[in-house]
Amino acid sequence: MINIKEDENLNKLNHSCAHVMAQAIKHLYPNAHFWVGPVIEEGFYYDVDLGDKVITENDLELISKEMKKIIKDGKRIVRNEITKKDALEQFKNDPYKIDLINRMDENEVTISTYTQGDFTDLCRGPHVDNVKLCKNFKLLKFSGAYFKGDVNNKVLQRIYGVCFYNEEDLNDYLKELEERKERDHRKIGATQEIFMNHELVGAGMPLWLPNGAIIRKELENYIYEKEQKLGYLHVYTPCVGTVNLYKTSGHWNHYKENMFPSMKVDEEEFVLRPMNCPHHMLIYKNKLHSYRDLPIRIGEFATDFRYEASGAVKGLERVRCMCQNDAHLFVTPEQIGDEFKRVVELILDVYKDFGIKNYKFRLSLRDKENKEKYFDDDEMWDKAENKLREVLNELNVEYFEAVGEAAFYGPKLDVEVKPAVGPDVTLSTCQLDFLLPKRFDLSYIDSDGSKQTPVVLHRAIFGTFDRFTAFIIEELKGIFPLWLSPTQINIIPVNNEYHLDYALSLKEKLQSFKFRVNLDDREEKLGYKLRESVIKKIPITLIIGQNEVDNNTISYRLYGSSETINVEIDEFIEKVNQAIKSKKENI
Ligand code: TSB
Ligand code: ZN
């Protein structure tokens, strides 16, 4: 997908189209007042104050129609440069524009307006020469948006659109949008019964259905095995802690807005935990350690709770109750490089297994100005940031740097991926931390007998099982490989009267090998059942008729193929076993 914001020509065109939309809105709703209308990665939007009016689908159509009229009329777009005084006069009836003008310094910026026919907007530009060029546009959606993003302010109507120079590009984009909607894990999650939500449980608190639970269990087994081989020690800890625990760690000061409010039980004050680091620090501290014990890698599939705005929660991707594939690695300063490298290698290994190719490494650094979010120790930060940079360069992986994205306790490497719908999200993360070990007074005895403080690497390979599952649903378009598929084999007897007994015995036999088998014994036509097996994206469908019963064999079809293959049962079992073990897509 092209990034419209970064493409100079498309940026200009979309910006002009936003003005055309504003002009149309002004024609239809003369009392409309406009805030800002920026170009974004996938088009543009404009925030509009329409009084009490809330935009509907029908309005979108009316606005589109009016825009077409304006575009057909073909007025030129003309730039004018004006003084601040003139600007204040010209926009005196537009409170939002006055707000913008008041914040402009005439000595630093040129104040300009753009006019097309009866409509003038305060704007820096640039724009295309004529509204005619905006003809290949589409208004996409609308939502409410707080003025200046502040929940205490008025809700404005935000209308989104997109514009291309030719019809073909617009159609291609609209087709891609449709395809993305089909891939959306919320849609597949519902049709394939992977998860659900219920208002009585609450926003951002998904319930994993049996199919989803199978996928999650497989993911847990998969990563557990990898971590075990790498020397991780797995633990279980409670998903609450006292407020004092989070005061000790610093979360209470630096992470409070992401936490659920505390609750009092007897004389103690508890919080639902947003992170597991404090618990793991205490497990480390439970024993004395020598430098010879390090690295110590404490892992947990740990449930956390975070406050996410109700408008931001999204399926399994952004939730308020999540399960991290978490681990904290306690290392000596000399071991940072090697251990960090092992984590990056594990990330790459896992991504290869899942065929994940579209991702970006982001080195997330602190914002030096933001003393509230980040603890104040420049030397410690510089040391940590340089160390990560050094290892990344050594590993020769491509990455970009992002200021202000670090955790409050240290810089991190994040892996960014693009969901089917909506902005990029972080999947895996590996974070360097010199702070928490100090706050918990952790130590080890060094080779010279001195007491030293370990360094901690926080890492989550899947990120959370929730977000990872959302992501692979979209990557795989709901077509799971055999090892992950909730139902692996669907048995269809051609005729229940003659073939059901054999099908039943087959089911039992296959289940004894721990395959996940469904027997479709409904009194429906073969063609209907076969189609349904495909709709449900089941990897293997067995078709059991007289031939199979007589010869004690099976016939199967693989998802995506119409070829029917006849084999001996033992051969089939061997193939399935092999495919599951090697995590192949199918047999
Ligand atoms: C890695 N203390 C570290 C841990 O040791 C930590 O909590 N890091 S985190 O804040 O970055 O969260 C880990 C991962 O959880 C993120 O990389 C992201 O993939 C996932 N995650 C974060 N917030 C959410 C959310 N609201 N819903 C689903 N997954 C989330
Ligand atoms: Zn952590």
Q: Model confidence over 214-273: pLDDT tens digits?
A: 999 999 999 999 999 999 999 999 999 999 999 999 999 989 999 999 999 999 999 999
510/512 Cα distance (integer angstroms): 5
For the CA of 427, the closest atom of ligand 1 is 19
Nearest ligand to the C-alpha atom of residue 426: 1
Q: Which of 55, 56, 65, 150 is nearest to 99 (CA)?
A: 150
Q: Does residue 374 lie in a domain region?
A: yes
**Per-residue pLDDT tens digits for 141-183:** 999 888 888 888 889 999 999 999 999 999 999 999 999 999 9
- Residue 105 is predicted with a pLDDT of 83
Q: Are residues 343 and 432 in the same domain?
A: yes
**Per-residue pLDDT tens digits for 263-307:** 999 999 999 999 999 999 999 999 999 999 999 999 999 999 999
Q: Are residues 166 and 298 in the same domain?
A: no
- Active-site residue flag, 277: yes
Report CA(460)–ligand 1 centroid distance (Å).
7
Q: Are residues 164 and 313 in the same domain?
A: no
Q: Which residues contact 305 (CB under 8 A, 6 or more apart)?
A: 239, 259, 260, 272, 273, 274, 320, 321, 322
Report CA(342)–ligand 2 centroid distance (Å).
17
- Active-site residue flag, 326: yes
Q: Does residue 194 lie in a domain region?
A: no
Q: Which amino acid type is present at position 358?
A: N
- Residue 93 is predicted with a pLDDT of 87
Q: Which residues contact 544 (CB under 8 A, 6 or more apart)?
A: 491, 492, 493, 494, 499, 502, 503, 506, 554, 555
Catalytic residue among 17, 277, 323, 430: 277
Which residue's alpha carbon is nearest to atom 11 within ligand 1?
429
- Residue 456 is predicted with a pLDDT of 96
- Residue 1 is predicted with a pLDDT of 67
> Which ranges of 327-435 does DSSP label H, i.e. alpha helix?
336-353, 378-395
Residue 520 in this model has a pLDDT that exceeds 80: yes
3-state secondary structure 198-243: CCCCCCCCCEECHHHHHHHHHHHHHHHHHHHHCCEEECCCCCEEEH
More confident residue, 351 or 379: 351
Task: Tell me which of 148, 183, 218 is where a domain ends.
Answer: 183
Q: Are residues 144 and 83 in the same domain?
A: yes
**Per-residue pLDDT tens digits for 545-565:** 999 999 999 999 999 999 999
Number of domains in the chain: 3
Q: Are residues 471 and 494 in the same domain?
A: no
Q: Are residues 129 and 222 in the same domain?
A: no
Report CA(302)–ligand 2 centroid distance (Å).
11
Report CA(472)–ligand 2 centroid distance (Å).
24
Tokens of 480: 């799971």
- Ligand 1 cavity residues, CB under 6 Å: 275, 277, 306, 308, 318-319, 322, 324, 326, 328, 426-427, 429, 431, 458-460, 463-464, 466-467
Task: Quote the domain boundaries for residue 30.
Answer: 4-183
Q: Does residue 342 lie in a domain region?
A: yes
Find the CATH number of the domain harbouring 99: 3.30.980.10
For the CA of 275, the closest atom of ligand 1 is 7
**Per-residue pLDDT tens digits for 527-542:** 999 999 999 999 999 9
Q: Which residues contact 326 (CB under 8 A, 6 or more apart)?
A: 276, 280, 299, 300, 301, 302, 458, 459, 460
Q: Which of 404, 426, 406, 407 is nearest to 415 (CA)?
A: 426
Residue of 260, 283, 316, 322 best suited for mutating to test ligand 1, as the one with most atoms within 8 Å of CB: 322
332/229 Cα distance (integer angstroms): 21
Residue 581 in this model has a pLDDT that exceeds 90: yes
Q: Does residue 415 lie in a domain region?
A: yes
For the CA of 459, the closest atom of ligand 1 is 1
The beta strand positions in 418-519, using DSSP E, are: 425-433, 444-445, 451-452, 455-464, 489-493, 517-519
What are the angstrom distances between the C-alpha of 174 and each of 180, 327, 543, 580? 10, 42, 39, 38
3-state helix, strand, coil in the chain (%, to 5): 40, 25, 35
Residue 187 in this model has a pLDDT that exceeds 90: yes
For the CA of 460, the closest atom of ligand 1 is 1
- Residue 125 is predicted with a pLDDT of 87
Find the CATH number of the domain harbouring 556: 3.40.50.800
Q: Are residues 131 and 218 in the same domain?
A: no
- Residue 395 is predicted with a pLDDT of 83
Region 13-17 average pLDDT: 97
- Residue 396 is predicted with a pLDDT of 85
Residue of 429, 432, 456 best suited for mutating to test ligand 1, as the one with most atoms within 8 Å of CB: 429
Q: Does residue 483 lie in a domain region?
A: no
Q: Are residues 165 and 74 in the same domain?
A: yes
- Work out whether the CA dihedral 286, 287, 291, 294 comes out positive or negative: negative
Residue listed under structure tokens 């989070």: 246
**Global pTM?**
0.87
Q: Does residue 199 lie in a domain region?
A: no
Report CA(325)–ligand 1 centroid distance (Å).
9
- Active-site residue flag, 306: yes
Task: Tell me which of 476, 506, 531 is where a domain ends.
Answer: 476
Q: Are strands 517-519 and 540-544 parallel, antiparallel or unpaired?
A: unpaired
Q: Does residue 484 lie in a domain region?
A: no
345/338 Cα distance (integer angstroms): 10
Which residue's alpha carbon is nearest to atom 23 within ligand 1?
318
Task: Tell me which of 428, 449, 476 is where a domain ends.
Answer: 476
Q: Are residues 314 and 292 in the same domain?
A: yes
How many beta carbons lie within 10 A of that of residue 270, not counting itself? 17
Q: Are residues 179 and 128 in the same domain?
A: yes
More confident residue, 354 or 372: 354
Catalytic residue among 116, 192, 324, 431: 324
Whether cis (ω within 30° of 0) applies to the bond prior to 493 is no
Q: Is residue 111 a contact partner of residue 79, using CB atoms and an 8 Å limit?
A: no
Catalytic residue among 135, 362, 387, 412: 412
Q: Is residue 555 a contact partner of residue 503, using CB atoms and an 8 Å limit?
A: no
- Residue 17 is predicted with a pLDDT of 97
Which residue's alpha carbon is nearest to atom 27 within ligand 1?
318
Q: Which of 102, 80, 92, 111 is nearest to 33 (CA)?
A: 92
Q: Which residues contact 310 (CB under 8 A, 6 or more apart)?
A: 203, 204
Report CA(509)–ligand 1 centroid distance (Å).
42
**Per-residue pLDDT tens digits for 412-431:** 999 999 999 888 999 999 99
276/268 Cα distance (integer angstroms): 19
Q: Are residues 560 and 433 in the same domain?
A: no
**Per-residue pLDDT tens digits for 74-122:** 999 999 999 988 999 989 888 888 988 988 887 788 899 999 999 999 9
Q: Is residue 444 a contact partner of residue 397, using CB atoms and an 8 Å limit?
A: no
Residues 560-569 as b/e (b if ≥16 CB within 10 A, e otherwise) read: eeeeeeeeee
In terms of C-beta distances under 8 Å and separation of at least 24 residues, what long-range contacts does 220-227 make, across chains too?
Answer: 220/301, 220/465, 222/353, 222/583, 223/325, 223/350, 223/461, 223/462, 224/301, 226/346, 226/349, 226/350, 227/297, 227/299, 227/327
- Model confidence at 378, pLDDT cuts 50, 70, 90, reads confident
Q: Does residue 317 lie in a domain region?
A: yes
Total residue length of the chain = 587
Q: Is residue 35 a contact partner of residue 49, using CB atoms and an 8 Å limit?
A: yes
82/19 Cα distance (integer angstroms): 19
Q: Are residues 152 and 33 in the same domain?
A: yes
